[in-house]
Amino acid sequence: MSVEPAPEPRREPVAQQGMLREEIALSWRRSMLSGLRPDDPFDSASIEETDRRSRLFDAATPILDRMQDDLADTRYCVLLADRDARLIDLRVGQRRIQDRIEEDGAIRGRLFTEENTGTNSIATVYETRQPLAVRGEEHFVEAMKKYSCYGYPLTHPTTRRLEGVLDVTFLSEDDSPLLRPMLTRAVEDVHRRLLEGARSTETALLAAFQETVSRRRGAPVVAIGEDVFFANTAAQQVLDSVDHTVMRAVTEGTPSGRQLTKDLTLNSGLAVRAIWSRVTSRGGVVLEFDPAQTPRHRHSAVDRREVGSAPTRTVAGRLAAAREHRFTTLITGDQGTGKSRALTILAADTLVIRHRATVLTDAPATRWLEDLRQSLDTHTGLVAVEDFHLLPPAMARRVGDLLADSHAWWAISSGPFDAGSAEHRRILPHCRVQITLASLRSRADEIPQLAREILQEIGAADSVRLTAGAVDALTRHRWPGNISELKTILEAAVRQRSSGDITADQLPALTPGPRQELSPLQRAEREAIECELDRSGGNKLAAAKNLGISRTTLYKRMSQLGILG
């Protein structure tokens, strides 16, 4: 696999150029839009434990060893980042340069994205998937301007997916024309080792697949590798391309040496039990399926909301039971997991009156409590208290007492109760049904069905559907905004494509949430705005009116809270 050289920047400082190179200027703009400032330290970029058993680490280690020997007693650093732009290895020629670069933020496990670290030859190469040289003043963050660097994307030779970024960083005065050829050779060698590893893995995967097919005659069996998908005849009869994508998402990250089981609903509506294990520590997985007794049909109006993985069907069933018996209900989950949506499902055709804790920032507590008391005394449908965890402890106690003494049908939505006060937890014994909603990131197998439901809810034409490539892109996203973010993405896609297939290229950029960590009140405010935008069909004027703020204030808060649209 040939590697194109990184473009050579002009030698004079940026200040003398009068302008930035186009690729650098675009990177600066992305960095500024993310909220990063040139004087920001790298301390805000997260540090996590790295996987030293990964395919990339295995392929790159001998090459990095050789580069370290070649650069002995020099002031050069070699940095390796993974497919998430997280620094997983650092090699240096001198201990002094390692101390210096680590002091400036280059630490193993640190995330090097443009929103955290600005323009550099890891973050910008990760963003553009193109080789790049960044010299001195071209760096966005002041702390990096003393360095220059060359970076190359590491792409898998067969799948063409990004595996990571290889970078050489050095003090600007130490630049050498020999660095680029050395880095080019290293990248080619890593690509070669990735290809060799893929071939041996596929051989082992095929053998395991054939053994399972022979042992489970007549049962659907598939094998999923990095760039291969094997299926016997029985599997081909029940699985389609969307199922293939879901299977990849479900089995991603499976540890070796363990057999896992999960109940799923296929794209056809058939409920199955999937059983799988990883062939080798870096190999693919082999899945076998046991069909359930009764198939579910994805277009059935009766059980449309219950289709999905077993946990979701359980949630839907518990909501239905709570509605049938008018049980008091507590729904907890992180921001954007669908708590407001679950309250709507709980109420079904019954009118629901919602009392939001976020309103207390603008309304007197006594008036808010009186409104809640009146609803509990007179309303015959569902009375909902939203964002209960945001109530001050004293207020939570008073609200809890009102609910506990009431004979009305009520429900509460809340963030996780782990960090709640004792006053908040006093309500728990009075909640007959308690449901916790998982994050969308842990429910990748449900994304196809959730997407179909959301497309129906937003009024998309019946002909609109997601291609397998689009589903693959959605299942690979980390979903910091959970279901709210999924809905925003699909709304934007439908505005662009009102009929026919929506491909991965037609999905708007799956951008991460806001760079700053939101406080609980900010997270609740964001969810309240998103819910109101949902109810108003995206009409900003109507949403602002219902929220009791001006449209200008709404736009400002949407920008500050990272709400798309």
Q: What is the rounded CA–CA span in Å between residue 206 and residue 132?
A: 39
| Residue among 521, 514, 527 at smallest CA distance from 560 | 514
Confidence (pLDDT) at 390:
87
At 554 the pLDDT is 74
How far is the C-alpha of 197 from the C-alpha of 103, rounded, in Å? 36
What's the pLDDT at 13? Answer: 41
Expressed in angstroms, the distance from the first to the final Cα of the chain is 41
pLDDT given at position 515: 41
Exposure b/e, 144-179, CB count within 10 A at least 16 = b:
bbebbbbbbbbbbbbeeebbbbbbbbbbeeebeeeb
Q: Kindly write down the DSSP assignment for every residue of 335-346, as one continuous string.
A: TTSSHHHHHHHH
pLDDT at 449: 80
Structure tokens at 289: 């399926």
* Three-class secondary structure of residue 238 per DSSP: helix
Say which CATH class 304-437 falls into.
alpha beta
Domain edges within the chain: 14-196, 216-291, 304-437, 440-560
- How far apart CA 88 and CA 64 sit, in angstroms, is 12
Question: Which CATH superfamily does the domain covering 14-196 fall into?
Answer: GAF domain (3.30.450.40)
Per-residue pLDDT of the chain (565 residues; tens, 9 = 90+): 555 555 544 443 443 334 689 999 999 988 888 788 898 887 666 677 777 778 899 899 999 999 999 888 899 999 999 988 999 999 998 888 888 888 888 888 898 999 889 999 999 999 999 999 999 999 999 999 999 999 999 998 877 889 999 999 999 999 888 888 899 999 999 999 988 887 777 888 888 899 999 998 889 999 988 778 889 999 988 888 888 888 887 887 777 777 888 888 887 778 888 898 888 766 688 999 986 543 343 333 333 333 345 455 568 788 988 999 999 999 998 888 888 889 988 998 888 899 988 776 555 788 899 999 999 999 999 999 999 988 888 899 999 999 999 999 999 999 887 656 788 889 999 999 999 888 887 777 778 888 888 888 888 888 888 888 888 888 877 777 788 888 888 988 888 888 888 888 888 766 443 344 555 556 667 767 777 776 666 677 777 777 777 766 776 677 667 665 5
Q: Which amino acid is at 231?
A: A
Query: Is the alpha carbon torsion for 516, 521, 524, 529 positive or negative?
Result: negative
Domain 440-560 is of which CATH architecture?
Orthogonal Bundle (1.10)
CA torsion through residues 317, 323, 327, 333, sign? positive
Spatial separation of the C-alpha atoms in residues 52 and 470, rounded to whole Å: 31
Distance CA 250, CA 91 (A): 35
Cite the beta strand spans of 64-192 per DSSP E.
76-82, 87-92, 132-135, 147-155, 162-171
83: which strand partners? none
**AA identity, residue 95:** R
**Integer Cα distance of 129 and 162 in angstroms:** 8
Question: Do the first three CATH levels of 14-196 and 216-291 match, i.e. the same topology?
Answer: yes
Res 299: pLDDT: 34
Contacts of 196 (CB under 8 A, 6+ apart): none
In contact, 458 and 487? CB cutoff 8 Å: yes
Q: What is the DSSP letter of 414?
A: E
pTM for this predicted structure: 0.48
SS3 229: strand
| pLDDT recorded at residue 16 | 39
Q: By the 8 A CB rule, do 60 and 187 touch?
A: no
d(CA 381, CA 354): 11
Report whether CATH 3.40.50.300 matches the domain 216-291.
Answer: no
